[in-house]
Amino acid sequence: MVRRQDEGHPTTCCSLGRALRVKSDKEWYLKNQSRPGVQDPSLPDVRPPISTSIGSYVDSLTGSKRTKSAYGHAVNEFAAWNENLKNGNRKKYVEKIDKAHLAKFFDFLVDDEPENCPFTAALKILRVNAFIRMILKLDSSKGPIKKSDFRRELKSGQHRLEIYTRDELKMLFEAMTSEGKLLFEVFLKTGVRKREVMFLEEDDLIVNTLAPGRVKRQIRCTNKPKLRAS
């Protein structure tokens, strides 16, 4: 049998049995092509598979190490869970991940190992949704789920602030070093973030004497290109 492979007939048939299968697949496609999600089985499948999309997504993540780690952990955990499902429930391609599939993953996160609280599980679902949007090149508001789908779970993570008694605060400060007390006051009185405090230098402290006994102290937070990792 002559092999033929061109733009119109990209499938190579090496036997009569193979040619008959391709013919059957093509006939099925022509009858069902109007249905959403139907692919031509006689052509190479260009849909991004989950297994190979995870790595490229994690490599493309930007931001702090903590953010990249959190998003990478969520999508890898999803991929491992999906891979362990039986064939009938397992999803091979990213575009096949729907709302029902993510709901099953949420139930797994809350009810099975590693037993996440609903708030943490909802955050992981949103991170998987971000992965789907990126791979399929969807708008920021698109994807199988929306943030509003987990409004109750996300709201449950907003715990009330715990108020410490004077005795508890006294024990805390007694256990602190002088450097720890200073750091505590910086966070308490300035509202700066952790990474801003990490890169403070002596010149960032501004002290102005307004009057005898009256001193105004300020902390200046600026971009420091010299501290960026090369």
Tell me the C-alpha distance between 70 and 64, whole Å.
Answer: 10
Which pTM was predicted? 0.55
pLDDT of residue 129: 94
If 0-12 CB within 10 Å is exposed, 13-18 middle and 19+ buried, where does residue 204 land? middle
Quick one: CA torsion of 42, 46, 48, 51, rounded to 10 degrees? 60
What confidence tens digit (pLDDT) does each residue in 59-101 have?
Answer: 888 878 888 899 999 999 999 999 999 878 899 989 889 999 9
More confident residue, 230 or 82: 82
Tell me the C-alpha distance between 49 and 81, whole Å.
Answer: 15
Tell me the C-alpha distance between 65 and 43, whole Å.
Answer: 41
